[in-house]
Structure 1
Amino acid sequence: MTKLAIVELKLLTREPGAMFSLLIPLFILVVFGSSLEPGDTVLLPMALAIAVGLVGLYLLPTTLATYRERGILRRLSATPVRPANMLVVQLLLQLVLAVVACGLLMTVAGTMLGAHLPSRGLLVAVAFLLGTAAMFAIGLLIAALAPNGRTANGWGVLLYFPMAFLAGLMQPKDQMPVILATVGEYTPLGAFRQSLQDVWAGGAPDPLLLMVLAAYALVISIAAARFFRWE
């Protein structure tokens, strides 16, 4: 398992999508953050949600679907390294990548942009873990249904942009029609962004939104497990 994790980590560091997931949110933060007030509580939560969304909806499903397409998972089933171990390692590495991306964003925001950082670390962790679980569950479902890596990539992109728009990541929520803003708040990405923003504003996440994220993570994970194929 350890050797597998080391190999997969090396492959992940060479994956252009991993660098993409790190740099795009950082670029958005730096470009738009330089013109905002230091006490802004909107941009950084948005950047964090973007980073996790890219990892969960783009990188994770593309990697797993490509491995199945190339027969890697099938060949692993004939070795002591079971396919399930590959799945666990990939989930952990993608989680580490999401944590690194968000840590980089918070470091840059706090040191270079003077952005507000919340003091309630536990609430940040709860919102982050539930939001990440929901995003990863969707990524696993895409990987389960997509016949190959290219299709998984396309489906991830097709899902990401509508979800990002409804979540208020592409246009401020207060500039959206009320019905779209309301619907968007209960999408996985919207509930994630809003929960983070509530913590950044000094409050606590809406328990309903946290339950929405937990429900998405549970239900979609069950569906992904039902349809997932090793070959």
Structure 2
Amino acid sequence: MLKLTFVETKLLARDPGAVFSLLIPLFILVVFGSSIEPGDRVLLPMALAIAVGLVGLYMVPTTLATYRERGILRRMSATPVRPGRLLVVQLLLQLVLAVTACGLLLAVAGTVLGAHLPDQALSVVLTFLLGTASMFAVGLLIAALAPNGRAANGIGVLLYFPMAYLAGLMQPADQMPDMVALVGEYTPMGAFGQCLRDVWAGGAPDPLLLAVMAAYALVVSAVAARFFRWE
């Protein structure tokens, strides 16, 4: 497991998609953050949701579907290192990537941009874990259903932009039709983004939206496990 983790870490570090997942949210934060007031409590939560969404909907499904397409999972089934261990290692590394991206955003926002940072660390951690779990669950379902890595990449991108729009990451929710904004709030990314905004505003995350993210994480993961193929 240690050697597998070491090898997978090197592969992830060389993946252009990992760099993309780190730099794109940071670019958005710096470019738009330089033109807003330091007390703004919307941009940083939006950037955090974008970062987790990129990892969950792009990195997770593309990597796993590519491994299956290349026969890596099938060949590993004949070794002492079972393919299930590779799946666990990959999910942990993708989680580390998401944490790194969000940590970088928080560091730059707090030191360079003077952005507001919430005092409720526990609420932030709970929201992050549930939001990440729900986004990763969707990524696993894409990986389970996509025939190859290229298809997983395309499906992830096609899902990402509508979900980001519905979540109010491209257009403020108060400028959207009421029904569209309501639907968007109950998507994985929408619930995640809204809970982050609630925490940044000094309140507590909505328990209903936390439950929505937990439900996505459990139900979608179960469906992904049902349809996931090793070869």
- Give the Cα–Cα distance (whole angstroms) in 2 for the partners of residues 173 and 29 of structure 1: 19
1:45, distance to aligned residue in structure 2 (A): 0.4
- Give the Cα–Cα distance (whole angstroms) in 1 for the partners of residues 124 and 50 of structure 2: 16
2:194 is aligned with 1:200: no
- Give the Cα–Cα distance (whole angstroms) in 1 for the partners of residues 173 and 38 of structure 2: 20
Deviations 1:9-53 (A, max 9, x none): 000000000000000000000011111111111000000000000
- Give the Cα–Cα distance (whole angstroms) in 2 for the partners of residues 90 and 4 of structure 1: 10
Q: Which residue does the alignment assign to 2:9? A: 9
Q: Which residue does the alignment assign to 1:186? A: 186
Q: Which residue does the alignment assign to 2:161? A: 161
Q: Which residue does the alignment assign to 2:69? A: 69
1:175, distance to aligned residue in structure 2 (A): 1.2
The amino acid across from 1:21 in the alignment is S
The amino acid across from 2:177 in the alignment is P
The SS at the match of 2:35 is coil
Q: Which residue does the alignment assign to 1:145? A: 145
Q: Which residue does the alignment assign to 1:100? A: 100
- Give the Cα–Cα distance (whole angstroms) in 1 for the partners of residues 94 and 2 of structure 2: 16
Q: Which residue does the alignment assign to 1:54? A: 54
After TM superposition, where is structure 1 displaced by more than 6 Å over at least 4 residues in a row? none
Q: Which residue does the alignment assign to 1:116? A: 116
Deviations 1:119-147 (A, max 9, x none): 11000000000000000000000000001
- Give the Cα–Cα distance (whole angstroms) in 2 for the partners of residues 178 and 224 of structure 1: 32
Deviations 1:179-221 (A, max 9, x none): 1111100110000000011000000000000000000000000
The SS at the match of 2:29 is helix
Equivalenced residue count is 231
- Give the Cα–Cα distance (whole angstroms) in 1 for the partners of residues 89 and 49 of structure 2: 23
The SS at the match of 1:205 is coil
- Give the Cα–Cα distance (whole angstroms) in 2 for the partners of residues 188 and 207 of structure 1: 14
RMSD: 0.5
Q: Which residue does the alignment assign to 2:133? A: 133
Structure 2, unaligned runs of 5 or more? none
- How many percent of aligned residue pairs carry the same amino acid? 81
2:32 is aligned with 1:32: yes
The SS at the match of 2:114 is coil
- Give the Cα–Cα distance (whole angstroms) in 1 for the partners of residues 42 and 100 of structure 2: 20
The SS at the match of 2:116 is coil
Structure 1, unaligned runs of 5 or more? none
- Give the Cα–Cα distance (whole angstroms) in 1 for the partners of residues 40 and 131 of structure 2: 21
- Give the Cα–Cα distance (whole angstroms) in 1 for the partners of residues 151 and 38 of structure 2: 41
TM-score, with normalisation over the residues of structure 2? 0.99
- Give the Cα–Cα distance (whole angstroms) in 2 for the partners of residues 229 and 90 of structure 1: 16
Deviations 1:119-178 (A, max 9, x none): 110000000000000000000000000010000000000100000000001111111111
- Give the Cα–Cα distance (whole angstroms) in 1 for the partners of residues 12 and 182 of structure 2: 37
- Give the Cα–Cα distance (whole angstroms) in 2 for the partners of residues 165 and 135 of structure 1: 15
- Give the Cα–Cα distance (whole angstroms) in 1 for the partners of residues 43 and 124 of structure 2: 15
The amino acid across from 1:219 in the alignment is V
